[in-house]
Amino acid sequence: MSAATLNFSREEFADRLNATRAAMDDAGIDTLIVHDPSNMSWLTGYDGWSFYTPQCVIVGALGDPVWFGRGMDANGARRTTYLTDEDIVGYPDHYVMSTQRHAMDYLAATILTDRGWAAGRIGVEYDNYYYSARAHDRLFEHLPGASMVDATSLVNWLRLVKSPREIEYMRIAGTIVSKMHARILEIMTPGMRKNDLVAEIYHTGVTGTREHGGDYPAIVPMLPTGADASAAHLTWDDRELRMGEGTFFEIAGVFRRYHVPLSRTVHLGPPPARWLAAEEGLLSSIAAGLATVAPGTTFEEMHRAFITELRSHGFDKESRAGYGIGLSYPPDWGERNISIRPGELTEMKPGMTFHFMPALWQDDWGLEITESVLVTETGYELLADVPRQLFVKN
């Protein structure tokens, strides 16, 4: 089989592994079991749509990590990771969707026991989409000599500061999402079915640029219209767009699994006065928040500037105003580390990337205007280039 295609250098993967082991030492963890596919990819390069069955990457004190997954996906690991065959272990298919046995039975017996990792303090991502209660019970049952430790987000927090190559990928993703919004404004018209508009959004996102093809997003396009826009996370249907209604578009450009989300709102026909007031409030509060972005600023300080300005316009926002972004797989494009909200005392550093998510969901309408941001040595860079405004089409 030909050599794997890697999106990063072996040196970068080595740096990530060293950082992970340092964090394990700080947490008193001897062996780390990572189930989050984003963390699996960050550590090894693995990239496959196989997360609907049990899989993980195991990091011990020495050597390369071990990829563990369904047997038919082992060649996917060989094609996308730097690991040798010795460190790629597939389990037999009779473990898949079985009520009598579980892949964690095989993991405990064939990898953890054989490699001397069945004792000591074992860290597992407890609060993770891809680690079930049954998986935990079966793993715990087979490791009586081990102490199980919650290692949720241990790797996620190591991903906060992006490398130059990661930033390069995110800039490409930002170009793609900018093209996606331009396409929306070009073709959106009253009478158009929403599913037809979504088809164009997907086509533009996957087509990407002349130099770089796009990837699939971890979250499907969200574009609720009218009263549906009072809900934050509705998707689409086949109803026709109508004059007098507004639609927000929460979408992301993706390249090499790196996401740059961006939201804009389009109103068909003249918007009511309350919409214009909300636009003014959002734009002013976004500017206030961005004015604080610089190395050393905490995300709490950014939130304080944003929310103070927003409240001065008569609006409020109870939910967080943003989150870390980067490498992600379904069902979420957030990195699950920092949040822009009170109490978030993490200081900004050059290379951090986040989605600044000012949005207003009212009783019967909603307005979203957001920015994806890179912290630089002196301030910030916007990762997408779309005019910051409420768009009106007549």
- Nearest 5°: phi and psi at 263? -120, 140
d(CA 37, CA 50): 9
Render pLDDT for 168-190 as a digit per residue (tens, 0 to 9).
999 999 999 999 999 999 999 99
Q: Where are the alpha helices (DSSP H) in the chain?
A: 10-27, 37-44, 74-80, 103-107, 133-141, 154-158, 164-187, 194-207, 273-290, 299-312
Confidence of residue 3 (pLDDT cuts 50, 70, 90): confident
Q: How far apart are CA 151 and CA 384, in angstroms?
A: 33
255-290 per-position pLDDT tens digit: 999 999 999 999 999 999 999 999 999 999 999 999
Q: Which two tokens stand for residue 298?
A: 């905490």
Quick one: average pLDDT of 310-315? 97
| Numbered ranges of CATH 3.90.230.10 in the chain | 164-393
CB atoms within 10 A of CB 71: 13
In this predicted model, what pLDDT tens digit does every residue of 27-65 receive, in sequence order? Answer: 999 999 999 999 999 999 999 999 999 999 999 999 999
The pLDDT value recorded for residue 1 is: 46
Tokens of 332: 């979420």
pLDDT in the model for residue 394: 87
**DSSP-based three-state secondary structure for 164:** helix
- HSE-CB of 252 using CA atoms within 13 angstroms: 28
Separation of alpha carbons 143 and 354, rounded Å: 38
Cis peptide before 331 (omega within 30 of 0): yes
Percent of the chain whose pLDDT exceeds 90: 98
Residue 179 is encoded by which pair of tokens?
């093209």
For the chain, give the percent of residues with pLDDT over 70: 99
Where are the CATH 3.40.350.10 domain residues in the chain?
10-158
CATH code of 10-158, in short, is 3.40.350.10
- Residue 296 pLDDT exceeds 90: yes
User: Are 288 and 366 a contacting pair, CB within 8 Å?
Assistant: no
Q: What's the chain's length in residues? A: 394
Nearest to 42 by CA among 132, 122, 123, 158: 158
So what's the architecture of 164-393 in CATH? Alpha-Beta Complex (3.90)
Phi, psi angles (nearest 5°) of residue 17: -65, -40
Q: How far is the C-alpha of 317 from the C-alpha of 301, rounded, in Å?
A: 16
Q: What is the DSSP string of 77-123?
A: HHHHSS--GGGEEEE-GGGTT-SS--HHHHHIIIIITTTT-SSEEEE
SS3 state of residue 339 = strand
Q: What average pLDDT does the segment 326-350 reach?
A: 98
pLDDT tens-digit series, residues 77-94: 999 999 999 999 999 999
* Angle (deg, nearest 10), helices 194-207 and 164-187: 150
The pLDDT tens digits of the residues spanning 12-27 come to 999 999 999 999 999 9
